[in-house]
Structure 1
């Protein structure tokens, strides 16, 4: 018996085909949605795998392009002034990006998203009323999708995508694309927040390490204080330039760069600026240094002394200093002030210990040595009176006279030991010396003295330092034809370094080297060396730098003046 064949009416078969087609379409939609969700999850994992903020921002931009099939993508970071401080691009090669001019600041459609942080989807980028056109050399762009990136309810920046394609053909961004990009932006906000927290923690660690190092260094004997402050602050802040400023002793209304480290440090040393360019608690005038973000920190000082300033500057305009940087830098400046106060207290304790030791030596000389010499003189006087030999008696009286002279010398030494320790202000002596050369040079050389061990520059060593400065300034006056000269004395680490830098014509082919030979000979006699660098500025071929270095200890006795 043959099986019975079931036959459906034509109308019923048509409805079944339609239902099957709808089922297939919905299945394809489900598969497409699953693919998009998988893509969103993959993009979220990609942007959550790095805590380095610059790397993370580029990964977010690339993940957005990959997720929605966009040819070009960008992430604009909004600065404190409401313009774009950073602009990370994907899809545009470096040569093309360089040919389009400076990075955008937030005009046109980009500014529209800054002013109105809501998703914006356009079929034609140039048709929007806010559009201002693309710069010359910029790749053509039509379709557009932009969404804000929020971090803790604050708009951090915006994600921009253009030129979506599917199967090799340009298509418009859909509502689903907008939803996916909004979801990715939310995940990106969390990742950026984590990266920023990690960055703040790292910066805080750097500042804490710098504070600990500076306290240790400043409490070490003979530490070059101001140079260390500039160097530690430069590293901790991630700055391109760090400078320490102090009131100019010749003009209190101006500040002088007394120590600097980083880009352009040598050119800044010794320069002076009106104090109003560096308002305490404000931002320095950019005309005073690199044209980029800057930060000024006050170094607390006793009420009787004007405060110092630490100036930090960055060259890159996108690397703004944040409020956390200011707080941590202020803590660092507080540690610097405390360490310098402790250093001065240590120096005072050493001075007191030295005075106590001098007093003990003076007592011993008076109570023991002089008494023994006096008793020996009395015995020799008695022997001279009883001696039957006139020659022996005369010899004994000569010894008695010599002993009396020794007692008078010891008493003079005791008086000197019990007198206050003479304080030789080498800084003031060098300041007077630079002012002495003002007429010869046509200007007053700048003087920088740094280091807690300047008290060691006394006596014979101070004599050699004065002579070396005089020799170097004489050379500048005779041969350099300079418009500025910086004299810098650094004392620390067991050595003294004297640097004299001018912006003159340099040594060139000159054969006159007698002054430099004297400087080298003087340094060699003290166990040090003298190095001469010229030109200082390779671009102009001018300038000369003399670096005269000698140890603080082990110098030979000062020569006895004739007569």
Structure 2
């Protein structure tokens, strides 16, 4: 029999040994259960079913499998017998202290008639169901300890009884066989995860390079799905405050409420990722320093468990550094090194695609300038000369005409030709020297700075990448600028808000300008009476779009106004010149 740690009392000797037939029956059931478990069962489900089989084999009321991770800590804890309400009352899952930690430090079978009597025991947390008898055994995968099986409170006909030596032998045998099953399941799990990440990389890169309506929000969504996370987000250094970080894209739980959130860069995990170019894995978001104190409590639905952060590579000399943050709910499996490696590869693919797209945008800009120069040259060398020659001929004809009326009309035509030549020269000068007008993002930044003093706090600005820079049609650009100014003005005059946000995006061939605040809100009837909003609605309708008002939006307060119009074919999410890496 396997050597074990025991208290002075040997629980095996205190209980009668079951009959050989009973032992054979339990062994047969064990083999059948393990055979069924090996049929392509996903790893999380496999772990839970292993615990269920173990409890059934030895008659335990409660069971758990603690997965051991880096630093000899429990990084996952799969339980059976404890309902969700009780689990919520207990709080955070065990981290590997007390008796559970003893098994981590001493991976040998352990059988106890009273777990509270063991020297390593530190008692049970408040709200935990009472437990007395205990049986544990390590699970090894390819010679390394994967975790430990823990069973408590053996029942026989509804009566609590100690675990027996035969129970221990069965659990050790099961743990040994489970290691093989888990090893196969892990290989399958890694292969499936790698396939998801590769598919996500291919989809994002294709969207970016084909200039579909790809954006950082889509990057966050693809990454979240590939990682099996509850929230995917992209954070960047604030362009106006390098000491601050800003969340510019999010997908999943509480993502819409977190968009535009900012917090100090120094001392945060994101800051660490950006400063030392090191990906980060954390088991618990709340204790990681990633979020501002109290943010989780303020944002319902925000995942607060394991987190994975990887750097998004810089794109261009002046690009802002960014990071991809993936979060899971409390109690979910932690991210492992495989996740880190695959997410890092994904981030590099995204960075490469953004850089290639910026190169394409730069080539298009150069081609546009070359075309403007060619047009200017043709106007000067051909069109102006032809108009000038026609004017000379008309002047000669006017001098030869004996009819004063005809001569006067010819001289008027010559004057119009001179005016045409002047207009052409002005157009040529503009083509050769005039810079393209400021893009919508530049206008948004200027308005945010302008209204910071008026509002008493700086509105956040989030821009989904890629975003059409100066490629917007004049009517669309003018409408979007008017919408930004009018909406920020409304926040300043009417909202009484402590926080406001601006979001620019171009999803699905549309331009969307959204301004939100946490102020007093506005009724639909009141919104319709405001001439500024009526004008924005009219302008949006003229462009085939719409302007929508939502109020209240969160907790009975706030207003969100979205101005959305379609973009012409060919004007999609093209990237701005290379002074932005991941959105503003």
TM range (shorter): 0.7 to 0.9
Where in structure 2 are the equivalents of 1:460-539 lying within 5 Å? 460-491=475-506, 493-508=508-523, 511=526, 512-537=529-554
Alignment match, 2:107: 117
Alignment match, 1:49: 39
Among 328, 332, 341, the alignment partner of 2:346 is: 332
> Structure 2: how far apart are the matches of 1:66 and 1:439?
67
- Seen in structure 2, the aligned counterparts of structure 1 residues 383 and 323 have a Cα distance that, compared at 3 Å, is same
By how many angstroms is 1:529 displaced? Answer: 0.8
> Structure 2: how far apart are the matches of 1:498 and 1:484?
17
Do 1:426 and 1:458's aligned partners in 2 also have CA atoms closer than 8 Å? Answer: no
Among 293, 298, 301, the alignment partner of 2:311 is: 298
Q: Does 1:342 align with 2:356?
A: yes
Alignment match, 2:171: 181
Alignment match, 1:561: none
SS of equivalent to 2:39: coil
Alignment match, 1:202: 192
SS of equivalent to 1:221: coil
> Structure 1: how far apart are the matches of 2:129 and 2:237?
54
Judge which range, 321-330 or 498-507, deviates more. 321-330
Alignment match, 2:467: 452
Alignment match, 2:394: 380
By how many angstroms is 1:125 displaced? Answer: 3.7
Q: Structure 2: where are the runs of 5+ without partners?
A: 1-17, 283-287, 297-302, 570-584
- Seen in structure 2, the aligned counterparts of structure 1 residues 137 and 468 have a Cα distance that, compared at 3 Å, is closer
By how many angstroms is 1:97 displaced? Answer: 5.5
> Structure 1: how far apart are the matches of 2:159 and 2:485?
79
> Structure 1: how far apart are the matches of 2:249 and 2:79?
39
> Structure 2: how far apart are the matches of 1:141 and 1:474?
63
- Seen in structure 2, the aligned counterparts of structure 1 residues 163 and 439 have a Cα distance that, compared at 3 Å, is closer
Where in structure 2 are the equivalents of 1:144-293 lying within 5 Å? 144-164=134-154, 172-221=162-211, 223-276=213-266, 277=268, 278=270, 279-280=272-273, 281=278, 282=280, 285-288=289-292, 290-293=303-306
> Structure 1: how far apart are the matches of 2:520 and 2:129?
50
Do 2:76 and 2:334's aligned partners in 1 also have CA atoms closer than 8 Å? Answer: no
Alignment match, 2:381: 367
> Structure 2: how far apart are the matches of 1:455 and 1:373?
33
By how many angstroms is 1:362 displaced? Answer: 2.5
Q: Does 1:67 align with 2:57?
A: yes
**Greater relative contact order (CA < 8 Å, ≥ 6 in sequence):** 2
Please list the CA deviations of residues 138-193 of structure 1 after superposition, one character each: whole Å capped at 9, or x if unmatched: 66555432111112222222112334456777654333332221111011112122
By how many angstroms is 1:381 displaced? Answer: 2.9
Do 2:66 and 2:74's aligned partners in 1 also have CA atoms closer than 8 Å? Answer: yes
> Structure 1: how far apart are the matches of 2:516 and 2:151?
54
Judge which range, 439-448 or 495-504, deviates more. 439-448
Q: CA-atom RMSD, angstroms?
A: 2.8
Alignment match, 1:22: none
SS of equivalent to 2:553: coil
Alignment match, 1:440: 454
Alignment match, 1:559: none
By how many angstroms is 1:465 displaced? Answer: 2.3
Alignment match, 1:412: 426
Judge which range, 28-37 or 291-300, deviates more. 28-37
Please list the CA deviations of residues 247-275 of structure 1 after superposition, one character each: whole Å capped at 9, or x if unmatched: 21221122222222222222222222221
Judge which range, 160-169 or 75-84, deviates more. 160-169
TM superposition score normalised by structure 1: 0.85
Among 402, 405, 409, the alignment partner of 2:416 is: 402
TM superposition score normalised by structure 2: 0.82
Do 1:482 and 1:505's aligned partners in 2 also have CA atoms closer than 8 Å? Answer: yes
Q: Structure 1: where are the runs of 5+ without partners?
A: 1-27, 555-563
Task: Give the number of equivalent residue pairs.
Answer: 525
> Structure 2: how far apart are the matches of 1:447 and 1:415?
36
Alignment match, 2:581: none
By how many angstroms is 1:307 displaced? Answer: 1.9
Largest Rg, 1 or 2 = 1
- Seen in structure 2, the aligned counterparts of structure 1 residues 246 and 206 have a Cα distance that, compared at 3 Å, is same
- Seen in structure 2, the aligned counterparts of structure 1 residues 294 and 169 have a Cα distance that, compared at 3 Å, is closer
SS of equivalent to 2:506: strand
